[in-house]
Chains A and B, each alone.
Chain A
Amino acid sequence: MLTKRIIPCLDVKDGRTVKGVRFEGLRDAGDPVALASRYAREGADELVFLDITATNQKRATLVALVRDVARELDIPFTVGGGIGTVADVEALLLNGADKVSINSAALARPELIDELAARFGSQCIVVAADARYNDADGWQIYTRAGTHNTGRDAVQWCREAAERGAGELLLTSMSNDGTKDGFALDITGAVSRAVSVPVVASGGAGSKQDFTRVFQQAHADAGLAASIFHFGEIGIRELKEHLRADGIPVRL
């Protein structure tokens, strides 16, 4: 039976992981390879690396990072963050990334999704979408780290991305991100029902029960989180044991 996936997300800048990572037994918490290997051993199903480097060397450092990670890691990983061209995607895939996620570039020019899917196959093209809720418009898609409202309806955009060839959607609720109040079940469920490709839920995870809810009530295919894993608040193995006890299929 296909299992629900648990995905830790690592923010990287200039080839190093950033945001505090408090892990015992890691000699260097900024080393993405060491951290990735640790998560893999603990039972992570995949990893996501989100590159927040904003320099001219971005592409070179990201390609080098992907190579280092791929050399060590024996589980799949996705790379995202400011990736905008076919050439960028090709360089990352050739160096060992399993999937590449695009966000703003797809919103600026949706045809990019078609081009990438035709060239590399849908299986490695993830569209990341950041949604925020307001009472007047409902769930809308934002860019530029959640500061700019594109005016696009979240469900419609996700449906379009899937129809254009995205093989997976990474849906982040900006309204929930960082709150630890749980995933946005309504929009995650609405998107999951609207598309026929897998949906990764992101934003708001604070407890094991939040993962149970997003799988059982919103039909997410995977749950992604960052800080709760980095700070050791929830161990991946204990999370998966909790999910299994709740009747959710997981790889243990």
Chain B
Amino acid sequence: MEIAVIDYKGGNVQSVLFALERLGVQATLTSEPEVIRRADKVLFPGEGEAASAMRELRAQGLDELLPTLTQPFLGICLGMQLLGQHSEEGGGTGLLGILPFNVIRFPSAPEYKVPHMGWNNLQALRSPLFEGLREEDYVYFVHSYYAPVGDYTIAQAEYPAPFSAAVQYKNFYAVQFHTEKSGPVGTRILENFLKL
């Protein structure tokens, strides 16, 4: 099985590679369109700021390529947000437009610090991605912006209002939390993705 992890200077990709390695899977870190297109599975991690990530994707022509992919695809954290239409981050930026959501900032409140950082539970699970998980299982989040709940939502979390913890459209799956840093629960999700 060929697994491509997209390299666009989007942050902590090493952790994703290590997580795959722990599952006994060798992945290729790449920004080569041909390698990405012919991979059996594509992972799209990301951290940092949406506007600069989009600049990097455009510079490499990946903004054109990614929406055309047909194999199972997993966006992680910023890699999920980038699949939407528009983000408020950094004064506002257009995104890849694969899913219909807009990305907005958490309102700051004394009891609800931003970033939303730490372990929170998953609810309303509805996807083969979560096979073997239980409602209320914990995963690790770090983010200041979020995608609201919609038809595309396949798991949600609350902070304090419900938001999309995971989304799906056709072959495009994506999670807001860090599967690679979410202990055995996160490992199971990665395993489930590799079986799609």
Contacts and interface: CB of A to CB of B under 8 A. Distances in A.
A76 B117 CA distance: 11
A219 B111 CA distance: 8
Contacts, number: 103
* Interface SS majority for chain B: mixed
Interface of B: 11-12, 14-15, 18-19, 21-22, 47-49, 108, 110-111, 113-121, 138, 140-144, 158-159, 178, 180-184, 186-187
A83 interface: no
B49 to A, nearest CB: 6
Contact of A96 (B12, B49, B115): B12
A47 B33 CA distance: 37
Nearest to A96: B14
Interface of A: 1-5, 40, 45, 67, 70-72, 74-76, 93-98, 118, 120-124, 167-168, 193, 195-199, 219, 221-222, 251
Contact of B183 (A2, A40, A193, A221): A40
B115 A74 contact: no
Nearest to A2: B120
Given A1-B158, A2-B118, A74 B187 contact: yes
B115 A2 contact: no
A123 B143 contact: yes
A123 B18 contact: no
Given A74-B183, A75-B181, A124-B12, 9 more contacts: A3-B118, A93-B11, A98-B142, A98-B181, A118-B49, A121-B49, A123-B117, A124-B142, A167-B117
B63 to A, nearest CB: 20
A196 B12 contact: no
A45 B19 CA distance: 17
Nearest to B22: A74
* Interface SS majority for chain A: loop
A120 B47 CA distance: 8
The listed residue with most B CB atoms (<10 A of its CB), out of A72, A74, A75, A120, is A74
A195 B117 CA distance: 14
21 contacts: A3-B118, A70-B18, A74-B182, A74-B183, A75-B140, A75-B181, A76-B142, A76-B181, A96-B14, A96-B15, A98-B12, A98-B15, A121-B48, A123-B144, A193-B110, A195-B113, A196-B108, A197-B114, A198-B113, A219-B111, A221-B117
Given A3-B119, A96-B14, A198-B118, A76 B140 contact: yes
Contacts of B138: 3, 251
Contacts of B114: 196-197
